[in-house]
Amino acid sequence: MKPIGPMMWEHRLIEKMLRVFEGEIRKINDSNKLDTVFIDTVVDFIRTYADRTHHGKEEDILFRDLAKKELSAEHIRIMNELIGEHEYSRETVRKLIEAKERYLKGENTAPEVIAYLKELARFYPLHIQKEDKHFFYPVMEYFKKEEQDEMLAEFYEFDRNMIHEKYRKVVDQIEAQSK
């Protein structure tokens, strides 16, 4: 299997999560109230799965190795766009969290939260499409079969560490809060 296989499966799960946003946006619109547990779940999914686990493999492994190759101008351009889009998604999630925090303090930030959820649901599928249709397959050509096998193994190792990193963070956070 090529290393882009697992990356594309991860895209499918991210798309599935983004499709849930639609119903949730309708609920917020109708009630003008936030389900903060839903927002926390979305934030955790995006931060831990989409960003740390998925973008982590793209940036720390795939893009790192691509940067060592003689890439075409087109592929350099797309890779830089993808990095910028990852940053944009982080920024949007930061704003979403911040709006949720203000909601908990009594401010009506429901319209802002809707706007950030809508933005993520609009922009992220385009990012995925760019990778699936215009980047992942052609850039595999820069790697020999052995390099692709090594990359896949490194992806698995990266994933293996994620669950430990995630729960170390959970314990650190809960420990800090309990002091």
Which residue ranges make up the site for Fe ion (CB under 5 A)? 58, 131
Least gap, CB of 131 to Fe ion (angstroms): 5
Least Å from the CB of residue 8 to Fe ion: 8
Please report the DSSP string for 143-170 in residue order: S-HHHHHHHHHHHHHHHHHHHHHHHHHH
Give the nearest distance from C-beta 33 to Fe ion in angstroms: 33
Q: How far apart are CA 144 and CA 148, in angstroms?
A: 6
CB closer to Fe ion out of 23 and 84: 84
* Residue placing its CB nearer to Fe ion in the complex, 65 or 131: 131
Q: Which is nearer to Fe ion, 24 or 131 (CB)?
A: 131
- The three-point CA angle 151-155-159 to 5° equals 170
